[in-house]
């Protein structure tokens, strides 16, 4: 794939910001060096670093950075806010990933098909930036599988509710099996 000259600094900048992220395995000095290089590239190419860090949910809060990012972000009025997904985009039956590792096995015998479940956009999952937790009666029973949760996460972050309930239980090799929820 051939890239244009404008996308090369952007990709390099994003790669350096990912190296500077708190979730990376680098030493603090290496992470600081990556952030400093990213700021230099952003300054030279007029790229808004603050927006990139926010958009990709990177955590550089523990590193030394300037009081103001090199390029101030555009005014909010000039940026078009993306529309959150509709209910139809999120509707369907989803497997509850991690059911056997959370409170699922404990509460499995009390759960019935049709019981309401709560969906919560989770910001503290290091493996999936778009993680959606599934809770039944206040207990965390798992989450929506990686890759299928993006539309649901965006709708929840826009503070638009979704109705969800326990759909069924599928027997598995282990005792708790697998739970599925339905979003309407």
On whether the CB atoms of residues 134 and 152 are closer than 8 A, the answer is no
Domain spans, the chain: 1-77, 87-183
Pairing of strands 132-136, 178-183: unpaired
Architecture of domain 87-183: 2-Layer Sandwich (3.30)
Computed over every residue of the chain, the mean pLDDT equals: 77
Residue 71 reports pLDDT greater than 50 = no
Q: How far apart are CA 166 and CA 25, in angstroms?
A: 38
Q: How confident is the model at residue 170 (pLDDT cuts 50, 70, 90)?
A: confident
Which of 113, 164, 107, 154 shows the shortest CA–CA distance to 134?
A: 164
Instruction: Quote the distance between the C-alpha of residue 41 and its chain's center.
Output: 26
Q: How confident is the model at residue 81 (pLDDT cuts 50, 70, 90)?
A: low
Cα distances from 7 to residues 3, 81, 178, in angstroms, run 6, 23, 43
Q: How far apart are CA 38 and CA 75, in angstroms?
A: 23
Residue with tokens 């649901």: 152
Q: How far apart are CA 165 and CA 33, in angstroms?
A: 48
Q: What pLDDT digit, counting tens, does each position of 23-33 carry?
A: 666 677 787 88
pLDDT score at 25: 66
pTM: 0.54
């Amino acid at each position: 794939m051939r890239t244009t000259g404008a996308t090369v600094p952007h990709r390099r900048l994003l790669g350096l910001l990912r190296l500077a992220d708190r979730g990376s395995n680098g030493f603090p000095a290496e992470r600081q060096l990556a952030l400093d290089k990213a700021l230099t590239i952003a300054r030279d190419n007029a790229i808004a670093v603050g927006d990139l860090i926010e958009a990709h949910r990177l955590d550089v809060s523990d590193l030394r950075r300037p009081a103001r990012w090199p390029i101030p972000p555009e005014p909010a009025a000039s940026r078009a806010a993306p529309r959150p997904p509709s209910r139809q985009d999120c509707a369907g039956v989803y497997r509850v990933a991690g059911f056997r590792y959370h409170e699922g096995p404990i509460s499995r015998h009390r759960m019935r098909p049709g019981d309401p479940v709560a969906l919560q956009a989770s910001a503290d999952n290091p493996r999936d930036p778009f993680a959606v937790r599934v809770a039944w009666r206040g207990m965390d029973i798992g989450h929506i599988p990686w890759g299928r949760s993006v539309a649901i996460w965006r709708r929840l972050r826009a503070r638009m509710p979704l109705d969800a309930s326990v759909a069924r239980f599928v027997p598995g090799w282990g005792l708790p099996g697998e739970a599925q929820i339905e979003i309407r």
